[in-house]
Amino acid sequence: MRAAWAILAGLAAGAGLAWGLGRDQTPHRSPDARLRAERAAAAQAEDTLRPLFRWRDDAGVLQVTDQPPKGRPYERIAREPAPGIRVENAP
């Protein structure tokens, strides 16, 4: 009789554990909170893709900034390299 109770207790504990692990664990947000989270994620993604600018100052020192200089030539640098393999100066 003891074995039957142990088996039933084990089955009940296993069923409870399976139920708890199978539940949806994502928090439910209001539409306003979800919109704010989406906007924050989009702003962060945009910030990571902004280019850098390479230019030389009056002393000839190379500068790399996130804003282009005013009144002088600069080179725009992508923060992420182009996909694929690029070979330069190949014979």
For residue 53, report the phi and psi dihedrals to the nearest 5 degrees. -125, 130
Q: What is the pLDDT, as a whole number, of residue 57? A: 94
When pLDDT is averaged across residues 5-12 and rounded to a whole number, the result is 81
Domain assignment of residue 57, yes or no: yes
Domain assignment of residue 68, yes or no: yes
Domain assignment of residue 74, yes or no: yes
What domain range includes position 57? 51-80
For residue 27, pLDDT over 70 is answered with no
Tell me how many degrees the CA angle 70-73-79 measures, rounded to the nearest 5. Answer: 90
Domain assignment of residue 58, yes or no: yes
Domain assignment of residue 70, yes or no: yes
Domain assignment of residue 6, yes or no: no
| Number of domains composing the chain | 1
> Per-residue pLDDT tens for 28-73?
778 888 888 888 888 777 666 778 999 999 999 999 998 999 999 9
In a 3-state reduction of DSSP, which class is residue 13? helix
**CB of 49 within 8 A of CB of 76?**
no
Domain assignment of residue 61, yes or no: yes
In a 3-state reduction of DSSP, which class is residue 63? strand
